[in-house]
Amino acid sequence: AQSVAQPEDQVNVAEGNPLTVKCTYSVSGNPYLFWYVQYPNRGLQFLLKYITGDNLVKGSYGFEAEFNKSQTSFHLKKPSALVSDSALYFCAKWGDQGGKLIFGQGTELSVKP
């Protein structure tokens, strides 16, 4: 069973508009959830994480994510997109089996001027 799902392969947004990159996860106790970003020919960079507490998590570069337990979602958001936000975004969950970080398949974000 897939632990993390990113339903959109690609998201297109105009610069200055709000953006949302979706992520849902399989239920298993209290999840630890993460967002990473990957720029071309670069490794993954940590953006933010949810461990416990406030459902709205703030991270790097103006990104935030909302943990919704009833919908088992952890969508990544930004109020105003920048062209430089264009990259590949991965949602990840601390896995149920043996404690490993399991990634979704990724969503390519394209922000046009």
Partner 1 sequence: EAGVAQSPRYKIIEKRQSVAFWCNPISGHATLYWYQQILGQGPKLLIQFQNNGVVDDSQLPKDRFSAERLKGVDSTLKIQPAKLEDSAVYLCASSLERFSGANVLTFGAGSRLTVL
Binding flag, residue 41, partner 1 (CB under 8 A): yes
Smallest separation (angstroms) from partner 1 to the CB of 25: 13
State yes or no: residue 45 binds partner 1 (CB under 8 A).
Answer: yes
Whole-angstrom Cα distance, residue 80 to residue 77? 9
- 77 close to 30: Cβ distance less than 8 angstroms: no
> From the list 44, 73, 82, 96, which residue makes contact with partner 1 (rule: CB under 8 A)?
44
Per-residue contact string for residues 53-92; x = within reach of partner 1 by CB under 8 A: -------------------------------------x-x
Evaluate whether 7 touches 24 at the Cβ level (below 8 Å).
yes
| Binding-site ranges for partner 1 (CB under 8 A) | 4, 32, 34, 36, 41-46, 49, 51, 90, 92, 94, 98-106
